[in-house]
C-alpha cells in the first residue's frame, strides 16, 4: 500500500459538502441493508464487493466534509490511514485488502470463497460501524 505522501497529489481541494456526506451515508445504509439479504454461500463475492463499496462511500463522505475529493480508491485508503489515527493498522490493511478483492471481482471475475466471508464478516461489520460512527460524529460538528 502506498503512503499518503505518495498519493496526496491525487486528492483535490473542493468546498466542504456536508449535504453530499449525508447523501453518501444514506446510500451506505441502503447498501448495508441490501447486502444483509444476500445468501452468503451463493453470493460471497457480491457481499464482499458491497462491503467495500460501503466503506468507500463512508470514506468519501469523510473526505467531503473536509473539502477533499479523489477518484483514486488507493488514495482514499491512504487518506484514512493518514487522517484518522482511530483506525488500527489491521483495520487499514483490511480496507485495502477489500479494495484489492473488489478490483479482482470487478475486473477479473474473481470469486471470493464463502469461508473468507464467514471468517472476516464480523471484522468488516465492526469496521463499517466504526467508520459510520466517525462520520456521524463529524456531521454533528
State pLDDT tens for residues 113-127.
999 999 999 999 999
Q: How confident is the model at residue 141 (pLDDT cuts 50, 70, 90)?
A: confident
Give domain limits for the chain. 15-140
Specify whether the CB–CB gap between 102 and 35 falls below 8 A. no
Element (H, E) at 131: helix 114-140
DSSP secondary-structure letter at 38? Answer: S
* CB-based contact 63:84 (threshold 8 Å): no
Give residue-wise pLDDT tens across range 43-102.
999 999 999 999 999 999 999 999 999 999 999 999 999 999 999 999 999 999 999 999
CB 124 within 8 Å of CB 98? yes
Cα 55 from Cα 106, distance rounded (Å): 16
The pLDDT score that the predictor gives to residue 73 is 96
Mean pLDDT of the chain: 96
Query: CATH for 15-140, among 1.20.58.1180, 1.20.120.330, 3.40.50.920, 3.40.228.10?
Result: 1.20.120.330
Amino acid at each position: 500500500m502506498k503512503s499518503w505522501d505518495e498519493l496526496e497529489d491525487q486528492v483535490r481541494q473542493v468546498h466542504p459538502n456536508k449535504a453530499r456526506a449525508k447523501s453518501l451515508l444514506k446510500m451506505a445504509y441502503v447498501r448495508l441493508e441490501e447486502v444483509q439479504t444476500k445468501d452468503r454461500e451463493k453470493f460471497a463475492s457480491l457481499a464482499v464487493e458491497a462491503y467495500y463499496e460501503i466503506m468507500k462511500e463512508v470514506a468519501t463522505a469523510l473526505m467531503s466534509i473536509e473539502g477533499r475529493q479523489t477518484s483514486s480508491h488507493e488514495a482514499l485508503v491512504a487518506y484514512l490511514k493518514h487522517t484518522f489515527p482511530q483506525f488500527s493498522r489491521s483495520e487499514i490493511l483490511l480496507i485495502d485488502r477489500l479494495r484489492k478483492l473488489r478490483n479482482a471481482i470487478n475486473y477479473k471475475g474473481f470469486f471470493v470463497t464463502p469461508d473468507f466471508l464467514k471468517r472476516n464478516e464480523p471484522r468488516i461489520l465492526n469496521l463499517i460501524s466504526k467508520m459510520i460512527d466517525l462520520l456521524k460524529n463529524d456531521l454533528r460538528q
